[in-house]
Chains A and B, each alone.
Chain A
Amino acid sequence: MSYVAVKGGREAIERACDLNEYRRSGRSSVPMSLGQIREQLHLGVDRVMGEGGLYAPDHAAQALLQAAGDTFEAAFLLRAHRATLPRLGCSQDGSTAGMRVVRRISSAFKDVPGGQMLGPTSDYTLRLLELDPLEDPVRRQEVLKERLFRDLPGGTEVPDTFPRVVDLLRREGLVEDADGNDDEPFDITRRSMAFPAPRSARLQSLARGETGALLMMAYSSMRGYGHIHPTLAELRVGYVPLLMRHARTGEDFVAGEVLVTEAEVVSRFANAQGEPRFQLGYGMCFGQNEIKAISMGVLDRCLRSGTASCPAEDQEFVLYHSDGIESMGFSNHWKLPHYVDFLSDLDRLRKAKASHAGA
């Protein structure tokens, strides 16, 4: 009977949840372990941590498993979990000069102090789908290990710090000075943003942004709807210490290490500190997610343009529409019943048609 059909029905909802659960459990395959996901799908885990706003590789792996690989859903699971955790404090400022670097490149200069360190990346691979039957994965790992580490000269010193390219440019007066603002940052998870938003709120919002959304908006600026033709002064991937101040002793301590990607973009000079200097766009996100860090750097630079001349320079446009959890939730909500609203729409249309016919 149609009356029942318009109700969702508790039972039907329960079974839909069960079916979803059953389908992702791998009916005929071996269930995946969190370790497999964390190590072999590590870029997915990194992306979910960034968009979820929580640095927790095991939790992110669990979220990715539970969401059957859907990064929107996985980031949402992580965010919802994060929302139940107390906010213990704010970390101390630190410089990324001391980063334990995994990868570090500059496209501004052929060589930079400390050198270009390519590190693990798919940038230089040929994108050939490996359709041949996979060779023994264990054997393959051994061969790679041998090739990578056999000829490693003993006693090679890895430098403790890599000077930041932007600092070198800054010393020559080519890049604007840092604003030196060390107020406690605005926390968008505790307060609602007002516009124009302070830079800390903008950066936090971008750092939690959905990778594809940031890429799309940054790309629009690079391609034509904007003026940002970025030079990547430096891109780094590596571990930075998380420095906290002890609530009782007042002393700083290292709470752990966080893998981050950092991008510093210079583009278009403007008048800063009384003379023309390059303005800087800054991007940083959890894990290795270079597309996101670069997009964020470009967008940070875009959002510092005084008046918005294109969508990517409009704070509200960029920040309100780049959160994956919000945009996916709202887009999905159109699947909820809207028959009351639609009936009201129909009533308006019928009224307007009657008025049209009568005119």
Chain B
Amino acid sequence: MRARDWATGDVPHSKTFAFLDEGAKKDVRRALLKAVAIPGYQVPYGSREMPLARGWGTGGIQVTLSMLLPEDVVKVIDQGCDGSVNAVNIKKFYGRVGGVGITTDTALATVVQTRHRIPEERMRADQVLVLQVPCPEALREVEPSEAQTRRMHGEADYARMWLHLYEDVVTFGEIRISYRYPCTVNGRFIMDPSPIPRWDVPKLHMADTLFLFGAGRERRIYAVPPHTRVEPLEFDDHRFAVEDFAGKACARCGARDTFLDEVLRPDGTHQFFCSDTGHCDKRMR
């Protein structure tokens, strides 16, 4: 695959559908099955190098590619936006190696791949959401060693995580973790929901949709199957709360019930727009 062609779009299709060789797809699918069977458990797998850099969604890409069918319609978003750099790069790649349909409408997609957001529109049972994960280990916040965090998960030894949150409340009156908010899945594993904002965390709970998480650089895959409990860590007297947009609305579509991006204007004032641009566009139509 030559770089020149890469830039202009004349890239020949790879020999196998969806770029990955069949052996690699089988590896990923096996890990996916195990992940679905043990909700929130990080399954190690032999992550392959992709033509996109590590940290740019290679885990999500491998998950998506391993389950794509020619009739699939894919939506890719980055920070909620269909036109942001990472989403554009990945769509460029899929368009050429998969030959699948591409959409910006969540309702029309069979697979949605995302970086750091869950679409505002409630997703259905016949859809899959693939989340790109930079750091799959929620406990990394309190323990740098992988051998140790694996042991802690095995023994459900989560005391240090709870203590960490408690100390935040004591010191700052608030838990400082903003995005990547740790959740308990199915009453068992503490899971990193990927760097989605707190706003999106409740969407994972008892959903109709299958959520698949791919961490390419860290070589882990995990899942939240439909109708699974996903509960953010909270205390009885200090409840989990999403970002506060009280009194604010999208300057474009007027929505008051969506996650808003804050934009600084030259005069120093702030303006707000829907982070989910596909949803915003739909409301404008």
Interface residues of A (CB under 8 A from B): 2-3, 6-10, 13-14, 17-18, 21, 66, 76, 79-80, 82-84, 86, 189-192, 194-196, 316, 320, 325-326, 328-333, 336-341, 343-348, 351-352, 355-356, 358-359
Contacts and interface: CB of A to CB of B under 8 A. Distances in A.
A333 B145 CA distance: 23
Given A66-B3, A83-B50, A337-B84, 13 more contacts: A7-B277, A80-B50, A192-B220, A195-B147, A325-B53, A325-B54, A330-B55, A340-B117, A344-B198, A348-B178, A352-B173, A355-B173, A358-B173
A31 to B, nearest CB: 13
A312 to B, nearest CB: 15
A34 to B, nearest CB: 14
A114 B194 CA distance: 58
Contacts of B78: 336-337
Contacts of B6: 17
21 contacts: A2-B273, A6-B261, A8-B87, A82-B49, A190-B46, A191-B44, A316-B145, A316-B147, A326-B55, A329-B217, A332-B56, A336-B86, A340-B79, A340-B116, A340-B195, A341-B116, A343-B197, A344-B178, A347-B178, A351-B241, A355-B174
Interface in B107-164: 115-117, 134, 144-147, 150
A6 to B, nearest CB: 7
A26 to B, nearest CB: 15
Contacts of B239: none
B285 interface: no
Contacts, number: 173
Interface residues of B, number: 73
Interface in B217-264: 217, 219-220, 241, 243-244, 251-252, 259-263
A192 B219 contact: yes
Nearest to B196: A340
Nearest to A3: B273
A13 B174 CA distance: 40
Most buried by B among A66, A76, A332, A341: A341
A339 B195 CA distance: 11
A9 B85 CA distance: 7
B234 to A, nearest CB: 14
A283 B262 CA distance: 52
Interface in B253-285: 259-263, 265, 271, 273, 275, 277
Interface of B: 3-4, 6-7, 14, 19, 21, 23, 27, 44-51, 53-56, 58, 78-81, 83-89, 115-117, 134, 144-147, 150, 172-179, 195-199, 217, 219-220, 241, 243-244, 251-252, 259-263, 265, 271, 273, 275, 277
Nearest to B14: A84
Contacts of A84: 14, 19, 21
Contacts of B244: 347, 351
A341 B83 contact: no
B44 A192 contact: yes
A339 B54 contact: no
A21 B197 contact: no
A329 B55 contact: yes
Given A346-B262, A355-B172, A337 B49 contact: no
Contacts of A10: 83, 88
Contacts of A348: 174-178
B2 to A, nearest CB: 9
A83 B48 contact: yes
Contact of A21 (B7, B51, B177, B199): B7
A325 B58 CA distance: 12
A76 B220 contact: no
B197 A340 contact: yes
Nearest to A86: B21
A79 B202 CA distance: 39
A351 B275 CA distance: 21
A196 B172 CA distance: 38
A346 B179 CA distance: 11
Nearest to B24: A83
Contacts of A343: 197, 243, 260-262
B54 A329 contact: yes
B147 A340 contact: no
A38 B87 CA distance: 36
Contacts of B46: 189-192
Contact of A13 (B4, B85, B260): B85
B85 A80 contact: no
B236 to A, nearest CB: 18
Given A336-B85, A337-B85, A343-B261, A3 B252 contact: yes
A339 B172 contact: no
B263 A345 contact: no
Contacts of A18: 7
B178 A326 contact: no
B6 to A, nearest CB: 7
B41 to A, nearest CB: 14
A330 B265 CA distance: 30
Contacts of A337: 78-79, 81, 84-86
A197 to B, nearest CB: 10
A355 B176 CA distance: 12
B179 A352 contact: no
B53 A352 contact: no
